[in-house]
A and B are shown apart, each in its own frame.
Chain A
Amino acid sequence: MNEIMLGAIALGSIAVSLFFFRFWKSTRDRFFLLFALSFLIEGVNRIVLYESVGLSEDAPIYYLIRLVAYGLILAAIIDKNRGPRRRE
């Protein structure tokens, strides 16, 4: 059951990243590129590290990569606020 859930999480994360890639494609706003990359990294991380680390996820590298993924979300949000407030 655990393996099934892990696979579903990985696929789900990649599906979410595709949605955000689509947003990026239509708006060209890098905000969405960062969101897309974040979920892509998380999805791939789950698959790749399952092979080497297993279900216990007991490896700091696993969480360092996850930290990068979450960091991209925060970076996207902060980047939005740093940009020009007004176009004119």
Chain B
Amino acid sequence: MNSDPHDQAIADDGRRFILTSIPSVPFMEAILLFKALPGQAVETRSVAERLYTSEKQAAVLVEQLAAGRIIAPVEGQPNTHRFAPSAELAAMLDKVTHAYVHNLIGVTRLIHSRTERMAHQFADAFKIRKDP
């Protein structure tokens, strides 16, 4: 199994981040979308158009992204967000989007890997972190 080239290319911390923080492929695509337009206010409707999905599903994605502090709402403009991760998170997002673009099959497989996801969440639950 480990000789699979799609498995090799993703670094450990990237794997962990994908498994714990990226719930679906559209979620990853939405990150790419916001990331490609740094600083710009993006409407939920335009997210739906660009990802070829319904506005309802796009609204769910946007909500998840905002909850993950990857994007932030734009003040005074309803249903509009911009790419706004912390520096640390931005560095990690650089890493995983790079991996996604260069190893689409490997990363997609990882996103869909329920066993590994469950395992990571289970083991990570025992780490008592000081920061929430």
Contact = CB atoms under 8 A, between A and B. Distances in A.
Q: Tell me if chains A and B make direct contact, with any CB pair below 8 A.
A: yes
Interface of A: 22-23, 25-27, 29, 31-32, 76-77, 80-81, 83, 85, 87-88
Chain A contact surface mostly: helix
Nearest to A83: B127
Interface string B105-116: 000000001011
Contacts of A23: 115-116, 118-119, 122-123
Given A23-B118, A25-B1, 13 more contacts: A22-B115, A23-B123, A29-B119, A29-B120, A31-B126, A76-B126, A80-B126, A80-B127, A81-B126, A85-B127, A85-B130, A87-B13, A88-B88
Given A22-B115, A87-B13, A29 B126 contact: no
A27 to B, nearest CB: 5
Nearest to B127: A80
A22 B120 CA distance: 12
Contacts of B127: 80-81, 83, 85
